[in-house]
Structure 1
């Protein structure tokens, strides 16, 4: 137990150690160049963590390891639960059935197709395949973090998935504005998209929330409608991570039973933190209803301030979890993988860009 009398001091020191790294990651992510690239503290945190794991790891007490593991497991689940305060059910309602369908179709197809291609064609293991697919299909690094406890995978596999999110998410930030300016905006017929439709396309296919925000901001003259639709559709994808993880847990239980690897009774894997995540989103939705109805009320102002502070703290906790994940990542574990993760993530990226365009146009025309 991490807080047993024998381990308590080491665990606390390890948590504080991770927090110092996370604070540094937060400061670095706030620098002008890094911020303009849409690189979140989570990504900076894992980079710092990996640097530590492969350079300074042996310079610090091994007793701190329990605190690092605690940050990457328990603090992670707590942070994912309170990530629900970024989501409201009203956001889903605003984009209507079109935004919901784009989110649902892109999430499910990217996860299923991406996992299949990664395992069957590029010979990646199940966990790395699913983690990479989760990052591409839902919300980047945060989705990888949320999926890792369900799979109970090794830290370095999540680090691989996050690195793929960073690589192809960054490419998206530069590609989508060029696509819009050179092809989509001046075109007619099927290739043309209204600004709100392009926002739906952006929100339904780009990896990270920060990257979704950055794309409309990079398009000269982009309308507020484009930016708002992109963010709302993206947040719709984010909230879908909870049902996705529940379905994944049920699937893993069924697969274990079918393969006979459980040695008897099968324990249903339900990621309860995902259920609590939906609960927090529901609480946030109710609070939003109150603040909208009592805009000038002092209590409403206090609630808004509280939610804002919760989100700031939650981002820091997620950064701690990502940093801890990086601290468990040794380059030696990557040997033998070669370019397979890049090929697998690249195939998912192509599906998001090309398949996402076709599906967005189809949904808008159909619904």
Structure 2
């Protein structure tokens, strides 16, 4: 195929999608600026969290921003750009970071993620009457890494945008509560700074919230908390693969071998590849910093696009049940997570 038709196809795609992407990117840029503002930064609100909130406000005030000529670009932002943002998120993590917390940190993270996500699905569907998708999204956000985990889980389970918005909202509420409660509780927990950092990193929702909690206690706590949190983020890739395999085995049309039916989330493996590149130190540090910044902006753009597609009416229809589930998971994270940390550290002491 000659270059001319390829270029024409590329220009056609850009012409059709540029408006919607530009609207979502503009909202994301505003969110990034707000997230860097000291009062907002101290509150632990990330650009991704702010972007979905601003997107919801803009989309409900001016529905035309996500329809008509902008519709295809908005859909592109919440689809392809979401996956690209998850891949770039991998440059935040290195395998050396994982080695810094050792086997205790790995065991704690695996136990907390399995415990919280399993409880989310059970309590949400069996006790609170929530649908499975909402329960999974809230569970992923609580168990792994807040809004980023919710976003990454959405394309694997194919949930609606309003359910993503609901899950992100619950993460913000209880992650903010953790930022206040954890430093106040520290003197009464009987943990060293390092052990408290592992506890915070393995149980607080968002990366920004973990940083705020760790720095409120001390340098050793902050370092351990961030590394443990990054290890928890690394579990996102195997989590998505297992989730896809579970969906394939339980879904309709179970003919043929399981490996042929699994919808492999390629971006999860690309996420690991980005982490591996970062670990090998083959990418210059300035470029890594630029890729991390770009990844934040891309994920915020995808968040803004999802917000543009979410109506406040659909959020009101969800009621208090999602908030109740997130509250129960917050209690499980704090009390159960504390128990997991104490048992693992005692066992491997």
Could you say which residue in structure 1 is the equivalent of 2:109? 103
Find the counterpart in structure 1 of residue 299 from structure 2.
318
* Matched residue, 2:246: 251
1:27-38 matches, cutoff 5 A: 27-38=33-44
Aligned to 2:310, which of 329, 346, 362?
329
Supply the distance in 2 between the matched residues of 1:41 and 1:59 (Cα, whole angstroms). 20
Residue pair 2:59, 2:65 contacting (<8 A) in 1 also: no
Q: Please tell me whether residue 340 in structure 1 is matched to residue 321 in structure 2.
A: yes
Change (3 A) 1:229 1:66: same
Q: Does 1:276 align with 2:282?
A: no
More helix by share: 2
Aligned position for 1:262: 253
**Considering only aligned residues, what root-mean-square deviation do their CA atoms show, in Å?**
1.7
Q: After superposition, what is the alpha-carbon deviation per residue over 1:109-142, rounded to whole angstroms, capped at 9, x for unaligned?
A: 1111111111111111111110000000000000
Structure 1 spans left out of the alignment, 5+ residues: 185-191, 291-301
State the partner residue of 2:5: none
CA distance in 2, matches of 1:198, 1:305: 31
| Counterpart in the other structure of 1:51 | 57
Following the alignment from structure 1 to structure 2, what is the Cα–Cα distance between the partners of residues 89 and 6?
Answer: 41
Q: What SS class does the counterpart of residue 69 from structure 1 fall into?
A: helix
- Specify the alignment match of 1:362 in structure 2: 343
Task: Give the aligned partner of residue 294 of structure 1.
Answer: none
CA distance change for structure 1 residues 228 and 8 in 2, over 3 Å: closer, same or farther?
A: closer
Q: CA deviation at 1:104?
A: 0.7
* Counterpart check, 1:172 vs 2:178: yes
1:77-116 equivalent positions in 2, closer than 5 A: 77-116=83-122
What per-residue deviation string (whole Å, max 9, x for no partner) do you get for residues 10-57 of structure 1? 411111111111111111111121011111111110111000121111
- CA distance 1:155–1:228, change in 2 (3 Å): same
Contact 2:65 2:308 in 1 (8 A): no
1:5 Cα deviation after fit: 8.1
Query: What corresponds to 1:188 in structure 2?
Result: none
Per-residue CA distance 1:207-263 (angstroms, 9 max, x = gap): 0011000012223xx2x221111111100000010000000000000010xxxx338
Structure 1 residue 336: deviation in Å? 3.7
User: Hey, what does 2:4 align to over in structure 1?
Assistant: none
Q: Distance in 1 between matches of 2:129 and 2:318?
A: 9
Q: Deviations over 1:290-346 (max 9, x none)?
A: 6xxxxxxxxxxx801110111111111111011111111112223442110011111
Taking a change above 3 Å as real, the CA distance of residues 214 and 59 of structure 1, as seen in their structure-2 partners, is closer
SS of alignment partner, residue 123 of structure 1: coil
Q: 2:230 aligns with which of 232, 235, 239?
A: 235
Partner Cα distance (2:262, 2:243) in 1: 11
Relative to structure 1, is the Cα distance of residues 195 and 16 closer, same or farther in structure 2, using a 3 angstrom cutoff? Answer: same
The secondary structure found in structure 1 opposite 2:322 is: helix
How many Å separate the matches in 2 of 1:349 and 1:50?
25
Tell me the residue number matched to 1:204.
Answer: 202
Separation in 2 of the partners of 1:95 and 1:264?
43
Moved over 3 A (4+): 3-8, 58-61, 262-266
Secondary structure of the residue aligned to 1:218 is: helix
